[in-house]
Structure 1
Amino acid sequence: MLTIIKGPYLQWPTINSITIMWETDIPSSSKVEIYLAERIHSGYQGNYKKPEYIVTAVCDESFRNIHSITIEHLLPGTTYFYKIYSENDKSEVEAGPYPLKTAVGRGVPFSFTVTSETGGYSGFDQTNGQLNVDLFAQMQRYRPDFTLFVGDVVNDGKEYADWDKYFFGPGRDFMRTTPFYSCLGNHENYASWYYEFMGFAPPKNYYSFDYGDVHFTCLDSTDFVKKDSYPFSQDELRPGNPQYDFLIRDLQAATAKWKIVYFHYPPYVSGGYQVEVLRQLCPILEEYEVDLVFNSHTIVYERSHPIRAGEIDFDKGIVYIVSGGAGAMPDWLLPKRDWHTSQSLAVPHFVQVVVTLEQLEVRAIDLEGRLFDTMQIRKNADGVKMIL
């Protein structure tokens, strides 16, 4: 009997396209149908009438286990419903309908969430995985447009079973309706499964995308700082390194009002596993006026003061946030905060970011839904920044 064992899940939303992926236990064909539903005052799936009108359908008759279908020619910031189908010579399976939303365009507010360590915390987790289930459920209550995972989503990326145990299994309901992006952490362990399961732009370990008024840049800090030289560099942080050169080109070309960069190893954290060599990237981030940097690796929450040139600068500084979200390791914090730390707490959490043209609002939320830290970055039409 043909069975869907992962997904469906959503990848790489743009203003007019989205990719839908899933995995079956037996090689089979792939098909996605997209429906446009009528919005009503009450009723089916969040005040939408049961979808009946098919907008488009895309088929791939080749047999495979990991399925990936990109739907194009959609409208910006629009809610659709989708159904997936797989079939082989002996059986067939379908799932849906589930809602999806395309990316919003410039000038339209949106929100996203950030977390990590769903697998990295597994060796310390006494809940037998319930913490991950609760974390995904709590994020779902905030209905983000998408989510960033800042690495270590599995315990060992080379173990096939880990991808379902720590990530796709606990996040199944959430990922059916919420696209996600991820960067490589050390627990992904350079695994090929990351590249097979993720629908990001090549080379997949680093990439960038625009969403609304934000330009996002994903880096692979495990490539900059190799396992055999961690926490020091092997001279990869220099011109001529493909990823280093990509970062400069990417930020030079970005035209969005806000810039956010994310990668796993933290250059600033008042705790264990700070990787100071990555501060070599900071002059580039400062030159191209990055606003926020998200990291993980240390399984705590920490927000820095705005930093520029190794000092606190409330006018032009960058805020670094460690969202080691799926676990809480208070023993990993230093006895006292370092100079760069504004707020820090070791609790299971995620971060919600609400974006408008004039403001980024960052909210740190624990597993029970309690707000325990907040920050606003405001920027006027001339690009003058104020951090509150």
Structure 2
Amino acid sequence: MLRTTLACALAVGASLAALPASAHKGPDPLARWVFNNDAVNGRTCKAVIGPDARIEGGAEVVADGLGESLHFSGRGSMVVVADDLLAVKDKLPSRAMTVSAWVSIEKPQEFGGLFGVLQDNGGAETGWLLGYDREHFYFALATDGADDGDGQMTYLRGSARHERGRWAHVVAVYDGETMELYVNGELDGSSDAQSGDILYPEHAAVTIGGYRDDNENYPHAGSVREVAVYDSAATGAWVEHEFSHRKNLVALRPERTRPPGRADAFNFLVRPYLQYGTKHEMTVMCQTTTPGTTVVHYGPTADCELSESSDNLNEIQEVTLSGLDPETQYFYRVESQSDTGETVLSDVSTFATAVNDDTPFAFAVFGDTQWNAVVAARVASHAWAQRPSFLLHAGDLVDTGTNDSHWTQHFFPSMHELISRVPLFPVLGNHEQDAENYYQYMSLPDPEHYYSFRYGCAEFFMIDSNRNVGADSEQYAWLDRQLDQSTAKWKIVCHHHPPYSSDENDYGDLWKTNQSTRGAERVRPLTQLYDAHGVDIVWNGHIHSYERTWPVRDGKAVEAGAGPVYMITGGAGGGLETPAPTRSFFQNVVRRGHHYVMVHVNGDTLEMRSFDIDDRMFDTLTIQKPTAKTAD
């Protein structure tokens, strides 16, 4: 998203300035929803006034010490007032407006939404939204007066910090000239960047408990007690008066009671999986539905008589097992406990520590699992059947990195059969959006967006190609040093964007013109390091097809052993792409179709075998290191 205008919050004192004469002192709202058991019936919320709303996903009425509210899980839950604003246009303000809401936030996010209707896609910015970011509430608005042709939105961010789990009364006010944001009865920021009538999108959903437009969907994690929208601008006195009715909510402890009849809610949201395995360590991670502590029981038999624990109370939990023996099979199971004493216990699973330099091993490679959990699960199952030592993932693990449900409902369920038994070594793709979710779910060496690891006689260098990788960049300098210092027999690099690609249109539409960069020029400076330091294979994703190049050196195809082979393996789930109509100089094998790759390493020999979605092998490659000659 392009944030072309950002209004800074203006600090205010104790006095509140009144708005112009158009401000209301308490007229009926255009629409109002109060979320309690009287209003909510199944998947429908009956409005106090205005249109009834539809409840999606795991939103449910919960109780606290002062009443009831609708709790949003953050995993696809949302309230939809209308799938398209045209259906409720008469219930939306046209110029002056006030939006009032009682809300709590359990998981801050960069673009959290509470109530609104908007499109914010690149330079096209229309509509309005009451929302929050990782620290503050905001009021987003686009109007005719600031229209630059396709709309320009102001994100008015307040200065008061929201507290996790605490109730807050948040009010957005616009009188046709001035935007104001109030938090708990006090003015928290104002802006005159917008003026005139509200500029609405041609189409957009009207939602409560989420930020949704055509290309983004960020569900709210927290609770909403009530929401109202008016077609006039409130005065500061009115906002203060509204807050006073329920100001005791602000002091309420951040807890909630499960609704009657609900089954035990404490469970694994993400079942245990493995991260960053070495010869002597393995990291076990999981996520529970509410914060808890975790014990990992493990050992050389299924009795799992040893244990390691983490006392940190978190939803996403991480325990590193240390002091392990190399190339050894272990058994493990995870036990998590909530702060109220509820427990959940996983099934027994297995893992193996990394091998010594002289022991053969194998690993699976795929990328771009994205949204397609069905295909990803098939690929993972086929790969697991071949018993790899670990999984190398070339990025785009999910479709939208900021969307919790894409991790909890797409990626981890589809990968469970594989990554519950072998460690996952990923790189960031563009679809991860550098989201906090990635860094929460992954446990990798600092700074996590780039790192290296040694496995057997190979060393792997994992690069974030979303960031700068030019010759003057931090990653370039780091990679230059690491490759120079590496003593591994095999040097393998992985990053999401391919320096060389035969794709039909990602780098120039080769069905309409003969002009194409045939790969991401932005990452091509890295190839100088690969040539200089004898890199053997470079793994990429991004293009949703399969490609194996000839060895390439100095931008030219060369004979076997004279340069690195570039591999695109972006076929583990994303929508498929097609090669260009003419052959690239570097092209050896291209194929449209979902797939995965197995790599087998034994000393001087590396064998690569590629399989389609039906587990049929369609490509092979053997690379043989030259045998050192002995003196006569």
TM range (shorter): 0.7 to 0.9
TM-superposed CA distance for 1:63, in Å, is 1.1
Aligned to 2:335: 85
Q: Runs of at least 4 residues of structure 1 off by over 6 A?
A: none
TM-superposed CA distance for 1:197, in Å, is 0.2
Aligned to 1:99: 350
Residue aligned with 2:356, SS:
coil
Aligned to 2:437: 193
Aligned to 2:580: 334
1:331 and 1:66, CA in 2 relative to 1: closer, same or farther beyond 3 A? closer
Aligned to 2:527: 282
Distance 1:254 1:111 in 2: 20
Aligned-residue Cα RMSD (Å) equals: 1.5
Distance 1:90 1:179 in 2: 30
TM-superposed CA distance for 1:382, in Å, is 3.3
Residue aligned with 1:96, SS:
coil
1:33 aligns to 2:279 (yes or no) = no
Q: Answer yes or no: is the 8 Å Cα contact 1:153–1:166 preserved in 2.
A: no
Q: Which amino acid aligns with 2:359?
A: V
1:256 aligns to 2:488 (yes or no) = yes
Q: Answer yes or no: is the 8 Å Cα contact 1:84–1:95 preserved in 2.
A: yes
Distance 2:574 2:404 in 1: 26
Q: Which amino acid aligns with 1:369?
A: D
Distance 2:291 2:578 in 1: 45
Distance 2:310 2:369 in 1: 33
Q: Is 296-305 or 92-101 further displaced after alignment?
A: 92-101
Q: How does 1:119-268 map to 2 (within 5 A)?
A: 119=370, 122=371, 129-224=373-468, 237-239=470-472, 241-268=473-500
Distance 1:58 1:324 in 2: 37
TM-superposed CA distance for 1:328, in Å, is 7.3
Distance 1:214 1:375 in 2: 17
Q: Answer yes or no: is the 8 Å Cα contact 2:432–2:438 preserved in 1.
A: yes
Residue aligned with 2:525, SS:
helix
Q: Answer yes or no: is the 8 Å Cα contact 1:9–1:179 preserved in 2.
A: yes
Residue aligned with 2:624, SS:
strand
TM-superposed CA distance for 1:61, in Å, is 2.0
- Which residue of 262, 279, 300 maps to 1:15? 279
Q: Answer yes or no: is the 8 Å Cα contact 1:329–1:347 preserved in 2.
A: no
- The percent identity for this pair of structures is 32
- Which residue of 534, 551, 555 maps to 1:310? 555
TM-superposed CA distance for 1:327, in Å, is 4.2
- The structure where helix makes up a greater share of residues is 1
Q: Which amino acid aligns with 1:377?
A: I
Q: Deviations over 1:35-63 (max 9, x none)?
A: 212xxxxxxxxxxxxx2262x31122221
Provide the TM-score with structure 2 as the length reference.
0.54
Count of aligned residue pairs for this structure pair: 350
Q: Answer yes or no: is the 8 Å Cα contact 1:7–1:175 preserved in 2.
A: no
1:351 and 1:53, CA in 2 relative to 1: closer, same or farther beyond 3 A? closer
Aligned to 2:539: 294
TM-superposed CA distance for 1:105, in Å, is 1.1
Aligned to 1:65: 315
Q: Which amino acid aligns with 1:67?
A: Q
1:159 and 1:365, CA in 2 relative to 1: closer, same or farther beyond 3 A? same
Distance 1:62 1:312 in 2: 53
1:247 and 1:223, CA in 2 relative to 1: closer, same or farther beyond 3 A? same
Q: Which amino acid aligns with 2:454?
A: D
Distance 2:577 2:611 in 1: 20
Distance 1:187 1:73 in 2: 36
Distance 1:94 1:254 in 2: 41
- Which residue of 565, 576, 583 maps to 1:319? 565
TM-superposed CA distance for 1:381, in Å, is 3.9
Q: Which amino acid aligns with 2:489?
A: K
TM-superposed CA distance for 1:332, in Å, is 3.2
1:331 and 1:72, CA in 2 relative to 1: closer, same or farther beyond 3 A? closer
Q: Answer yes or no: is the 8 Å Cα contact 1:6–1:169 preserved in 2.
A: yes
Q: Answer yes or no: is the 8 Å Cα contact 1:133–1:171 preserved in 2.
A: yes
Provide the TM-score with structure 1 as the length reference.
0.87
Distance 1:7 1:218 in 2: 25
Q: Which amino acid aligns with 1:8?
A: P
Q: Answer yes or no: is the 8 Å Cα contact 2:607–2:620 preserved in 1.
A: yes
1:331 and 1:199, CA in 2 relative to 1: closer, same or farther beyond 3 A? closer
Distance 1:303 1:164 in 2: 32
Q: Deviations over 1:118-144 (max 9, x none)?
A: 11xx4xx6xxx4212211111111111
Residue aligned with 2:420, SS:
helix
Q: Answer yes or no: is the 8 Å Cα contact 2:369–2:573 preserved in 1.
A: yes
TM-superposed CA distance for 1:207, in Å, is 0.2
Aligned to 1:44: none
Residue aligned with 1:332, SS:
coil
Residue aligned with 1:269, SS:
coil
Q: Which amino acid aligns with 1:375?
A: L
Q: Deviations over 1:279-320 (max 9, x none)?
A: 211111111100000001110000000011111222321100
1:354 and 1:91, CA in 2 relative to 1: closer, same or farther beyond 3 A? same
TM-superposed CA distance for 1:7, in Å, is 2.2
Distance 1:243 1:53 in 2: 41
Distance 1:19 1:27 in 2: 19
Q: Answer yes or no: is the 8 Å Cα contact 1:328–1:347 preserved in 2.
A: no
Q: Which amino acid aligns with 1:133?
A: A
Distance 2:374 2:304 in 1: 38
Q: Answer yes or no: is the 8 Å Cα contact 1:329–1:346 preserved in 2.
A: no
Distance 2:547 2:613 in 1: 16
Distance 2:400 2:564 in 1: 32
Distance 1:90 1:52 in 2: 24
Structure 2 runs not aligned, ≥5 long = 1-263, 507-518
Residue aligned with 2:615, SS:
coil
TM-superposed CA distance for 1:277, in Å, is 2.9
1:13 and 1:341, CA in 2 relative to 1: closer, same or farther beyond 3 A? same
Residue aligned with 2:414, SS:
coil
Q: Which amino acid aligns with 1:244?
A: Y
Q: Which amino acid aligns with 2:271?
A: G
Residue aligned with 2:479, SS:
helix
Distance 2:474 2:385 in 1: 39
Q: Greater CA radius of gyration, 1 or 2?
A: 2
Q: Which amino acid aligns with 1:71?
A: L
